[in-house]
A and B are shown apart, each in its own frame.
Chain A
């Protein structure tokens, strides 16, 4: 009996030491986690997460001060990616911050624009071109749909529209998985 206890204890300590050494010796250096988190965020810089931009939010997540479900533009897919990266459970999007909407872009109604530059100063990615007393316009390809330009406009001439899709944007759809036989096939809990 005693022999068994001694043997198991010895083996246990041996393996434990071995694992500890291996954990140190074979450690994989990776990017600081803040950069990895930032790479997964959509970079809309909209502030809906209650942080002034995507990088501060990433830093807060890394410090453990913010939860991973605060970002509406990132949506479900974004939360899942963060959950995978950090090894935590994915959770539903925090409804207080907004809901996951389809990507929209801002459009300025040009006849109504008065050239005040307030929206230019508000845009976090400098996607609005213009100058004082000159026409302003949104560069569609750079607009992230963050909606920060809407409140400052004194004549309310900015609208959010869905960008036009062409046939060249068409993609093969997800195959219909409506048969209950395939409901559990390949799904991880």
Chain B
């Protein structure tokens, strides 16, 4: 008696990996860095992450409904969550709640869905969101906190929530008193007033390489990033090339003029460079396809970051550098097509 079977396409193997799985691994890799951040700068960042994720999922849901796409499938792929977390990690810990709202509006609705949704965005959505709020609200986006060890006060969770949601500090505190410039801000300000970098470095907010606390956070981001490379979620090309470019170019510029340029490792451990190298520039959708293309992309990001930091109008240039290279990615792809077998 012959038996009938259902059919399906090859390969006939259990599923190897899923989009949700890939995104989740990125989130796991960020955990050490976030924990270090909380250790140094308090719980404010967790509130930002929570807000960003909530708004991101809300906008994603709205857009999926409007575009008549399967809601559960796409909400469950964690891509909006990754965008939200990366965006939140660029915000000052006490930024008002509406910064996350506006940022996610531009990131999810504009940069992601209006370009076609998952897999179709030309620009990195988290960076689009960040750049929009940075340019629109420069004052709010420059109120950074010093590391916990240096602050002469503690802001409890209640105070943090009060600040973020009500937009005001608890009674008795002023922004001048509690906020402090970031290491990159400090260098910039010092140079603007005619000083040199080593003077700026004497400030207590500097640690061994980069900023106090910031360098440890960068270490943990790097740890997470290395884990991702081992798990083959990202390839080594972009982080290695970006950091190498920054170090090399930074070294050249530093040797030429040590007064106005920070040391190369200073660059690596400040700002969002390590986060950018492992998590932001490695966004596959807005980057290049081939490994050679990725090397060029990463080099471009490194160069532009340094240029903006040194001569541009903003203390940190990673976001702008990434967006500019996103624009160049299709052209780079065109000229770095790998040779095909046998041709």
Contacts and interface: CB of A to CB of B under 8 A. Distances in A.
**Direct contact between A and B in the complex (CB less than 8 angstroms)?**
yes
Interface of A: 175, 179-181, 183-185
Interface string B293-335: 0000000000000000000000000000000000000000000
A188 to B, nearest CB: 10
A184 B120 contact: yes
A180 to B, nearest CB: 6
A166 B120 CA distance: 41
Contact of A180 (B9, B69, B120): B69
Nearest to B74: A181
Q: Kindly state the interface size class of chain B when it binds its partner.
A: 10 to 19
B119 A181 contact: no
Interface in B10-38: none
A184 B113 CA distance: 11
A184 B68 contact: no
B152 interface: no
A94 B130 CA distance: 50
Contacts of B119: 185
Nearest to A187: B116
B78 to A, nearest CB: 15
A86 B115 CA distance: 26
A78 B68 CA distance: 31
Contacts of A183: 69
A184 B70 contact: no
B9 to A, nearest CB: 8
A105 B67 CA distance: 45
Given A181-B73, A183-B69, 13 more contacts: A175-B9, A179-B70, A180-B68, A180-B69, A180-B70, A181-B69, A181-B70, A181-B74, A184-B67, A184-B69, A184-B117, A185-B119, A185-B120
A181 B119 CA distance: 11
Contacts of A180: 68-70
Contacts, number: 17
A45 B116 CA distance: 42
Contacts of B67: 184
Contacts of A184: 67, 69, 116-117, 120
16 contacts: A175-B9, A179-B70, A180-B68, A180-B69, A181-B69, A181-B70, A181-B73, A181-B74, A183-B69, A184-B67, A184-B69, A184-B116, A184-B117, A184-B120, A185-B119, A185-B120
A180 B69 CA distance: 6
Contacts of B120: 184-185
A184 B121 CA distance: 13
Contacts of B68: 180
Interface string B112-141: 000011011000000000000000000000
A185 B120 CA distance: 8
Contacts of A185: 119-120
A179 B117 CA distance: 15
Nearest to B73: A181
A175 B10 CA distance: 12
B284 to A, nearest CB: 15
A184 B9 CA distance: 22
A94 to B, nearest CB: 32
Nearest to B67: A184
Interface string B147-175: 00000000000000000000000000000
Contacts of B9: 175
Interface in B207-225: none
B108 to A, nearest CB: 16
Nearest to B117: A184
A189 B69 CA distance: 17
Nearest to A175: B9
A175 B9 CA distance: 10
B285 to A, nearest CB: 12
A171 B119 CA distance: 30
